[in-house]
Amino acid sequence: MRQVVLDTETTGLEPNDGHRVIEIGCVEVINRKITGNNLHIYLNPMREIDEGALAVHGITEEFLADKPTFDKVVDEFLAFVDGAELVIHNAPFDVGFLNHELRMLGSAYGSIEQRCGVLDTLVMARQKHPGQKNNLDALCRRYDVENGHRELHGALLDAEILADVYLAMTGGQTRLSLGGSDSAEQGGAAVAEAIRRLDAGRSGLKVVRASESEISRHNDKLSAIGGSNGEPTLWEKMERGELH
């Protein structure tokens, strides 16, 4: 299976208000292995960036001034994602922006959904962890994914982090214990991961039985443990059914 973990950064929150994509980050995953084959594109949106968006990603209009517009990279982008399952956190946001960019180029390119499957990890996380925070930072803490280097949002950086989170979230727990409210939920996966199956055709275990002299010394020891008052030992009481 080929998957592409994808994230975007934009000039604002709503494409219908004319906001545009300014960064695309894609991380390729094949058969649950991160291949290192990534796609990273900065785009000139030909418009201003909202202050709120700038505070999130720190990408300035000056930095993007010499970057290509979307129409110049659309073929490269679509060639990379075509036929893959896109793994996106809060997919309606990113897919909505990408479809808006495609529509601006005419009907020939169609939509993202016509080219790719889409898996929303936010929906998946909410199903696995109802009533908890499920943003990317919270999932990093929950699944022990390192994100200390993430001071600002960035499409490629967030896609790389999301790839690790997605693989951890869908691969089962690999440790015997995980603190917090996830422990009971993931306990079954932990046991499954921890068990090492032995070869059914292996030779049987050697049974070493006690010799008569060893049994005799054992009984003498039990008699001594019984004390000097003549009371029976605990083991004798258990054999007689006097202890339960």
The catalytic site residues sit at: 153
What DSSP letter does each residue of the chain carry, written as one string? -EEEEEEEEESSS-GGGT--EEEEEEEEEETTEEEEEEEEEE---SS---HHHHHHH---HHHHTTSPPHHHHHHHHHHHHTTSEEEETTHHHHHHHHHHHHHHT-GGG--HHHH-EEEEHHHHHHHHSTTS--SHHHHHHHTT---TT-SS--HHHHHHHHHHHHHHHHH---SS---STHHHHHHHHHHHHH--PPPTTSPPPPP-PPPHHHHHHHHHHHHHHT-SS-PPPHHHHHHHT---
Are 162 and 89 spatial neighbours (Cβ–Cβ below 8 Å)?
Answer: yes
How far apart CA 137 and CA 140 sit, in angstroms, is: 5
